[in-house]
């Protein structure tokens, strides 16, 4: 509990620096590219087009889902995945990438994953605005269910930031952990119901097991806003499971922080 209070206090004390570093991280990501910020849109757009072409044109399995075109169902789930995957990969290396803040400036370690998460989240906000526009262009204007979109976005931000704190602490001590996480991202993608609906699984225990996946919960949550038209309180068990898993991850992250925070400057130095 003391560590959590300390981390919160550090975030409050360094809030201005956190947002400045988030902006700096975003600028640095696209610095040197002729198209600059446009790559934040171009890269995911190309990825979405490839997925759509493969499933809709190639293997012709892109059937409508819940009376919505498969393309719309796809982007409602894959766009939040772009943020999640960024935090699973680059989020794991945040402390090591910004090691100079720890070794030379004595910047609070726990705040580093936060400003990187904010940086990635800014791009996510732009992409979600585009998604809403695409749905509107296809004849599906926003409904009341879109009001819960910020709720799922906040849950996603909290979960991914906590994950980044935990993972980056371990990765700063061992590069092998970071490499392990990156090697597992593809498996997480295909097991999280991003390209296919977990609801279609007929095996009861397997369906329940996959539903425990926090990424599955978040992806389905975004689709509840656009496709399924379901309020989050209509699925209380799924929300409860997600909260429990997030809380367990927080406890593990705090324990890891307490154990490693004093050793990190020496290891990175």
Return d(Cα 163, Cα 166) in angstroms, integer: 5
Between CA 206 and CA 217 the distance in angstroms is 15
Q: How many Cα atoms occupy the beta-carbon half-sphere of 163 within 13 Å?
A: 23
Question: What tokens were used for 214?
Answer: 């926090």
Can you tell me whether residue 68 is helix, strand or coil? Answer: strand
Give tens-digit pLDDT for 182-226. Answer: 888 988 988 888 888 888 788 888 888 888 899 999 999 999 999
Average pLDDT over residues 76-101: 89
**Residue 147: which pLDDT band, with cuts at 50, 70 and 90?**
very high
Domain boundaries, the chain: 2-268
Distance CA 206, CA 193 (A): 13
pLDDT band at 71 (very low <50, low <70, confident <90, very high): confident
The answer to whether the beta carbons of residues 56 and 62 sit under 8 Å apart is yes
pLDDT at 130 over 60: yes
Tell me the pLDDT tens digit for each residue of 27-50: 777 665 545 566 667 777 787 777
Map residue 146 onto helix, strand or coil.
helix
Q: What is the pLDDT of residue 46?
A: 80
Structure tokens at 269: 């130095």
Supply the mean pLDDT for the chain.
86
């Amino acid at each position: 509990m003391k560590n959590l209070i300390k981390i919160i206090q550090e975030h409050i004390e360094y809030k201005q620096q956190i947002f400045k570093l988030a902006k700096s991280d975003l600028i640095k990501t696209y610095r040197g590219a002729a198209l600059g910020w446009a790559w934040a849109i171009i890269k995911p757009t190309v990825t979405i087009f490839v997925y759509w072409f493969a499933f809709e044109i190639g293997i012709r399995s892109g059937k409508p889902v819940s009376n919505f075109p498969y393309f719309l169902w796809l982007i409602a789930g894959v766009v939040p995945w772009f943020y999640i995957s960024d935090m699973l990969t680059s989020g794991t290396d945040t402390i090591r990438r910004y090691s100079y803040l720890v070794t030379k400036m004595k910047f609070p370690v726990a705040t580093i994953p936060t400003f990187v998460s904010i940086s990635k989240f800014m791009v996510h906000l732009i992409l979600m605005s585009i998604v809403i526009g695409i749905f509107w262009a296809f004849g599906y204007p926003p409904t009341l269910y879109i009001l819960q979109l910020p709720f799922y976005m906040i849950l996603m931000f909290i979960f991914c930031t906590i994950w980044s704190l935990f993972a980056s602490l371990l990765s700063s001590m061992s590069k092998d952990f970071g490499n392990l996480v990156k090697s597992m991202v593809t498996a997480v993608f295909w097991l999280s119901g991003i390209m296919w609906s977990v609801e279609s699984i007929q095996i009861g225990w397997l369906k329940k097991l996959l539903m425990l996946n926090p990424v599955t919960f978040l992806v389905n949550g975004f689709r509840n806003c656009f496709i399924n038209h379901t309020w989050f309180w209509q699925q209380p068990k799924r929300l409860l499971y997600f909260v429990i898993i997030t809380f367990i991850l927080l406890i593990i992250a705090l324990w890891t922080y307490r154990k490693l925070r004093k050793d990190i400057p020496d290891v990175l130095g």
